[in-house]
Structure 1
Amino acid sequence: MIDRKFPDKKLLSIHQWSWDMQPRTYRVVRKVEETPNTTSVYLSSDGDAPLQPFRAGQHLLFRIPGIGERAYALSAFSPKPKTYRITVKHPGRGEETGRAADYWRRQAVNGDVLEACGPAGHFHLPEQLERPLVFITAGVGEAPLAAIAEELAVRAPRHQLRFFHSTVNGSTFALKGKLGSLRGDLPNATWRIWFDRPQPIDRKDKDFDQHGEIVLADLRAFLPDCDCDFYVCGSNGFVARVVAELNTMGIGSLRIHSEQLGRESDDIVDPDERDVLPPVEPRTVHFTRSGTSATWKPEHGTLLEFAEGLGLEASYSCRTGMCGKCAQKVLSGETAKVRETPAKPRPGHQLLCSNIPISDLEIDL
């Protein structure tokens, strides 16, 4: 969520838009839980009028029933949109109920109609792309910048880009799939991912590149040897710190574009909510129907990735424990979950996309 609660005279003086603009009605058509703490919501026009084109990075101001007005950045781009998408981080344990984020997660259902103004906002690419781009994001800050990267792929796919993103670990990397697909669409882009607290299943140099938080001094080796335009998006504290560090590097304010998405605590995972995995070590896994046996190692990732590496086919849709399609029967042995999953498999079954072996296994696949 963008850190704005309208109406506010000071904020309106910055963005010059409010409910004085003509609001439109939108219908919820789809919800996707990207991770256990992040949901994407797809909206269509509630009527015959087509959706308004927009600049990636802009946002909608919603009037949420019983809560009030909240602004959310659009997290996907199309020059002729059929739907709008926003990506919302859920409240953590112990936080107040009735928040807007909790509304999107628990209350909003397909068919619901909401009012919103926009799209609007000044956090977007310029009309003319004159310099290389550097995106620096943390947490759900990846959402608007993923959309901006999509627009870049449409407008100038060979433009030079450096995309730096920081998150807690693989279980909080909401748009990993989208960013992965953009790598092929932007051949002159460089991507580096930081995990603050990687899980044992998170593989360095494959799932992430650096351990810890983004430190700008470490980025110098990855920056182009010329002037760049910097786009910074994340929690209030993250954005303030990065902008201050850019200023100390001699980056002028005209080269820095930033968007704040909320309090620093919104990017923190409660340690009590994270699963503590038992020690992981090589295990023998036998896939009975295919007659295939092999030794799983931590670098092989989840059981789904391991099976695919052996040439086996397993049904899946989301790969993050949302759809439940990859569930298979475990005939013997034990597994451990690498993430909490909305999908709950039948007794005796486990989601291959979200489990690793902690003993020798037999799986009906």
Structure 2
Amino acid sequence: MLNQRTIEIIKSTVPVLEIHGTAITKRFYEMLFTAHPELLNIFNHANQKQGKQQTALANAVYAAALHIDRLEAILPVVKQIAHKHRSLGVLPEHYPIVGQHLLAAIQEVLGEAATEDILQAWGEAYGVIAGAFIGVENEMYQQAKSQEGGWADFKPFRLVRKVKESEVITSFYLIPADGGALAAHEPGQYISVKVQILGETHTHIRQYSLSDAADKGYYRITVKREDPVADRPGGKVSLYLHEHLEIGDVLPISAPAGDFTLDQQDSRPVVLISGGVGLTPLVSMLNTLAAKQPHRGVTFIHAAQNGQLHALKQQVEAVAAQHEDISVHWCYDKPTERDLSEKTFHKEGYIDLAWLKTVVPNRAACFYFCGPHPFMKAIYAALREWEIPTEDIHFEFFGPAGSL
């Protein structure tokens, strides 16, 4: 444990981290990858280029400093990040490397303000926090390996089916290449997919939510094709999966991970709200509820630009048609003429609180949502305005955690 003097020094750096945190983490990653380019096989290059990873780490360091006297307050965040680390293959030997370059970045960015006392205090604090991560992740590796059909690292899976779900979204059905058992997963969890793209120096790893219930004999991921646009390059892995992955091809995959999971011990109604490809973990939850808790009461709400970009619509409607306690509602902000003429959606525009109140029969429910960052901010604000208790609000970011 940290002594009181160390805690006081760490807390005194909170205002500095609020101002210079992102500059520190940006420099940290530059130094880390210069010294250890092999770690580029683990990190998401796109998130690095867009600054998302730097911001997420800066927020994590800031939170650690702010709560250094009660680290149990950030334990949920530690577990959330540990799930990602286990899924990516982060190991205990990586932590000393990170600590070395993080302290060096603090010293370089803050200059003379980074006194010996501050660097020593942060070195001690990092050791405690790293120890917490290593301990949690070791347990996760053991759990992933010891479960039936489980494994600890990456395992080859074979593509057995590829289904186009919309103009930009495709589902990929994967089974173990060795014909062995399939590890179970909780509805809402994800897997990591590792690809080696021709001409690329490093491998690329991306995490995709499993979009179907467990016990189906396969893992299904439903991936949006990220084409290049004016302000950002295309998604290398999503384009590779869409354009090059064919039936029979093999991909290395990590065991399911993630803490954005459906609470199946609760019997209250469930509201699932998604935007775009953010529906994938919620469809897994929906299919699980239909199979195991069909009378719990489920409201499934999805927002898309229009019917051409609406994935898994027929599958979700088929589930609802079989269960009177499941209702579905579609919201399109740019409906096509066909959508308008055939009335294939329920609301034109965006999801707002006034409309939510008309389609959610019972606010005393568990709310789960996922989608693009602006969408999630709007949904979170609406639920808080509706005075939904924080403990009943559950969400997941695709990529590094942001702020709502």
Is TM > 0.5 for Structure 1 vs Structure 2?
yes
1:50 equivalent to 2:203? Answer: no
Give the Cα–Cα distance (whole angstroms) in 1 for the partners of residues 306 and 343 of structure 2: 13
- Note if 1:248 corresponds to 2:370: no
CA distance 1:70–1:162, change in 2 (3 Å): same
Which residue in 1 is equivalent to 2:317? 180
> Is 1:165–1:194's contact at 8 Å kept on the other side of the alignment?
yes
Q: How does 1:154-169 map to 2 (within 5 A)?
A: 154-169=291-306
Return closer, same or farther for 1:47/1:240 CA change in 2, 3 Å cut-off: same
Matched residues, number: 259
TM score, norm. by length of structure 1: 0.66
* Shift in alpha-carbon separation, 1:211–1:224, aligned structure 2, 3 A: same
Deviation, structure 1 residue 143? 1.8
Pairwise mapping of residues 102-121 of structure 1 onto structure 2 (< 5 A)? Answer: 102-121=239-258
Shift of 1:190: 2.0
Matches within 5 A, 1:87-236: 87-94=222-229, 95-97=232-234, 99-203=236-340, 206-236=343-373
SS in 2 for 1:152: helix
Larger % of strand: which?
1
- Does the CA-based 8 Å contact 1:146-1:178 persist in structure 2? no
Aligned CA RMSD, in angstroms, stands at 2.4
Q: How far apart, in 2, do the equivalents of 1:239 and 1:259 lie?
A: 9
3-state DSSP of counterpart to 1:120: coil
Give the % identical residues: 30
Q: Is residue 80 of structure 2 the alignment partner of residue 14 of structure 1?
A: yes
Structure 2 vs 1, CA of residues 98 and 89 (structure 1 numbering), >3 Å: closer, same or farther? Answer: closer
In structure 2, the CA distance between the partners of 1:68 and 1:24, relative to structure 1 (3 Å rule), is: same
Please say if residues 235 and 262 of structure 1, whose CA atoms lie closer than 8 Å, have aligned partners that are also in contact: no
In the alignment, is the contact (CA less than 8 A) between 1:169 and 1:202 conserved in 2? yes
Query: Equivalent residues in 2 for 1:67-106 (5 A)?
Result: 67-78=203-214, 80-94=215-229, 95-97=232-234, 99-106=236-243
- Give the C-alpha shift of residue 89 in structure 1: 0.6
Equivalent pair of 2:158/2:250 in contact (CA under 8 Å): yes
Answer 1 or 2: which has greater helix percent.
2
| Per-residue deviation, 1:262 | 5.8
Question: Could you say if the C-alpha distance between residues 258 and 5 of structure 1 is closer, same or farther in structure 2, counting changes exceeding 3 Å?
Answer: farther
TM (norm. structure 2) is 0.60
Distance apart, 1:241 and its partner CA: 2.1
| Partners of 1:185 and 1:255 in 2: CA distance | 27
Kindly indicate whether residue 194 of structure 2 is the aligned counterpart of residue 63 of structure 1.
Answer: yes
1:11-58 deviation line (CA, Å, top 9, x unaligned):
875242321541222111121111121111111101032111111211
Structure 1: segments with no counterpart, 5+ residues: 264-365
